[in-house]
Chain A
């Protein structure tokens, strides 16, 4: 069975700083996806970024980038030039694709606060 661990329950940084959220996972699968989801206060969870395990290049989406270390089973999220709107719960998730469908396995979440 797959497991996902986020070791930082809470983090807090100043606006414009860079912050890195940690995530480790365990799996015996060779083909899988990794995701970071963001849930702002009282709002829906949205996908921030995803990484296909077979791709060596780290995914980036504007200010968001990942450091994917497949051998170490590590998948951290870096937020550059953090903004107040980045305040949210961040969930790391694992998905092993099967016929186009994925049962996501989530970590415990990291509550990130961006202070003005």
Chain B
């Protein structure tokens, strides 16, 4: 079974540009999470989808970040316009819906904003 995949693996953009990150969760996983690790600090929660609905977006830093999960399958995270402080590694994770369920992480997208 394929694991969580993320695209692209690396992205380098100029300040002010737009970038869209994609996450494909494990098939059948209704929970989908986005996390971010900035500058070697701790990994921080951004938001959580249950199927196509945003369950918790308390970690989203500001309105330059927009996450979607149309159809409850893959998810995208768009940053527009990107700022220098958005640089970091963006992780996606997915899990089954009910009971205790392990979160499976993707390899991450390393975003560099110049």
Contacts and interface: CB of A to CB of B under 8 A. Distances in A.
Contacts of A45: 91, 105, 108
B31 A101 contact: yes
Nearest to B56: A103
Contacts of B56: 103
A94 to B, nearest CB: 11
What is the interface of chain A mostly: helix, strand, loop, or mixed? strand
Q: What size tier do the contact residues of chain B reach? A: 20 to 34
A37 B106 CA distance: 13
A43 B107 contact: yes
Interface string B71-104: 0000000000000000000010001111111110
Interface string B40-68: 11111100101000011011000000000
B3 interface: yes
Interface of A: 4, 33, 37, 43-47, 50, 52, 91, 93, 97, 100-109
Given A44-B105, A45-B105, A103-B48, 4 more contacts: A4-B42, A100-B97, A103-B59, A108-B40
